Amino acid sequence: MTTFAKNFLVPAVALLSVATMALAQPGPGMGGGRGGMAGAGAGWQCNQSNTPGFTLMSAQERAEHQSRMRAMQSYDECIAYIAEHHGKMAARAQEKGVALQAPRNPCDMMKARGRIK
């Protein structure tokens, strides 16, 4: 083996291999070891882009909302809860004079992914 190969190529290949393995690891929100969406719904997190009224809720309310969404068992249960949630957030938005993000129906996505029946 030449000096160039020993001093440059072997360490470069080793470094590239380690970097590739590090990049291949699941990151936050990718379900790393927690079952992802197929498990207990651990992959979903309530945030500003997917939860109308996010900024109108306290941190505790956000955690409760996320917990309830993850615990949904049926489409009908989900639809009822989302209607209630959207109603509360619309009232809060009106009280504060702010525009509320357009309502979304996460129940359809949960049903399509097999999370609820």
The two three-digit tokens of residue 40, written as one number:
């207990």
Domains in the chain: boundaries: 46-117
| pLDDT confidence of residue 33 | 38
Amino acid at 117: K
DSSP 117: -
Is 31:37 a contact under the CB 8 Å cutoff? yes
Residue 36 has pLDDT above 60, yes or no: no
More confident residue, 37 or 90: 90
What's the pLDDT score for residue 57? 95
The chain-wide mean pLDDT, for the chain, equals 77
pLDDT tens by residue, 78-95: 999 999 999 999 999 999
Q: Which residue has the higher pLDDT, 46 or 41?
A: 46
Using only C-alpha atoms, what is the Rg of the chain? 22
How do residues 53-74 score in pLDDT, each as one tens digit? Answer: 999 999 999 999 999 999 999 9
- The answer to whether 78 touches 106, Cβ cutoff 8 Å, is yes
Q: What is the pLDDT of residue 28?
A: 44
> Residue 104's pLDDT is what?
82
